[in-house]
Amino acid sequence: MGNQIAEADKKSHLQHHFVDSDQQFESSKLGMWIFLVTEVLMFGGLFVAYIIYRSWHPDLFYLAAKELDTALGATNTVVLIASSLTIALAIRAVQLDKIRSAINYMAATVALAGTFMVIKYFEYTDKFAKGIFPGAGYTYDGIDHDMAANFFSIYYMMTGLHGIHVVIGMGLITWMIIKAKKGFVHSGYYTPVENTGLFWHLVDIIWIFLFPLLYLID
């Protein structure tokens, strides 16, 4: 909460209905946290579906998870963790008014996110080639279980919704890069960067849950 800068600078980002920057900053941050709660609950619904289906058909999950490429999944995990680090460094850089390096860190984050999506693309196309489509389009016969399609429905729903969040995150970070270039964010006002960072960490954390739950089933 180190918003200790000149009074004149403060005013420019202060919306009229807030008393001061501290109040505005705290409000934004609280708002972002509440939004993250709703995100967690939305994914929570999918996790509940996952848990229920896994408890009904433990053998299905064991068999079907073997079809997933653990190496690619692990790579993606490392990629996302690295991107969480870079966005954290970007926030730190903005707080220290090192806008140049903040932009670089954010660009690195977008690049890592892009890497994640590319790997995801290869994983998906590999499965489509085998005939592993969500639900009714499923034609693959490599898994000896008559509900194999349901596992991949859950797989596609979870990773797909997560993928959409990655794309949204990339958009947000790009927007932050533009903001930084135009000089809208600095040590006196870095709320948007901070909130984008929070969002990105959530995207990362969800993946850290998805990876073992889907790929590493023994």
Partner 1 sequence: MAESTAKTLKIREFPIDENPKHTYLNAEKGILSWLLTVDHKRIGLLYLGSITLFFFVGGVLALLLRTELLTPAQSIIDADTYNQIFTLHGAIMIFLFIIPSIPAALGNFFLPMMIGAKDVAFPRLNLASWWIYILGALFALYSIISGAVDTGWTFYTPYSVQTGTAVVSMTMAVFVLGFSSILTGLNFIVTLHKLRSPGLTWSKMPLFLWSLYATAIIQILATPVLAITVLLLAMERIFGIGIFDPTMGGDPVLYQHFFWFYSHPAVYIMIVPAFGIMSELISTFSRKTIFGYWAIALSSLAIAFIGFLVWGHHMFVSGQSELSSVVFSFLTFFVGVPTGIKIFNWVATMYKGSIDLKTPMLYALAFLFLFTIGGITGIMIGALSVNVHLHDTYYIVAHFHYVMMGGTVIALLGGLHYWWPKMTGRMYSEFWGRITCGVIFVSFNMTFLPQFIMGSQGMPRRYFNYVDQFQGLHQFSTIGSYILGIGFVMMAVYLVWSLFKGPKAPSNPWRSRSLEWMTSSPPSHHNFEYTPVILHGPYDHHKPMREFRMGVAQEAAGHGETVEHEKT
Give the interface segment with partner 1, choosing from 82-90, 115-123, 156-164, 181-189 (CB under 8 A). 156-164
For 218, the token pair is 């023994």
Among 64, 89, 103, 154, binds partner 1 (CB under 8 A): 154
Strand, helix or coil at 139?
A: coil
Tokens describing residue 131: 């005939």
The site that binds partner 1 (CB under 8 A) totals a number of residues, namely 42
**CA–CA distances in Å: residue 147 to residues 4, 122, 138:** 59, 24, 10
Q: According to CB under 8 A, which one of 27, 75, 95, 104 is a site residue for partner 1?
A: 27
Instruction: Give residue 26's identity as a one-letter amino acid code.
Output: E
Distances (CA, A) of 135 to 131, 155, 182: 11, 11, 46
* Span near partner 1 by CB under 8 A; candidates 24-32, 90-98, 103-111, 176-184: 24-32
109 vs 153 by CB, closer to partner 1: 153
186: left (phi > 0), else alpha (psi -120 to 50), else beta?
Answer: beta
Residue 182: CB minimum distance to partner 1, A: 19
Q: Which residues of this protein are in contact with partner 1, per CB under 8 A? A: 15-20, 22-23, 26-28, 30-31, 34-35, 37-39, 41-46, 48-49, 52-53, 133-137, 146-147, 149-150, 153-154, 156-157, 161
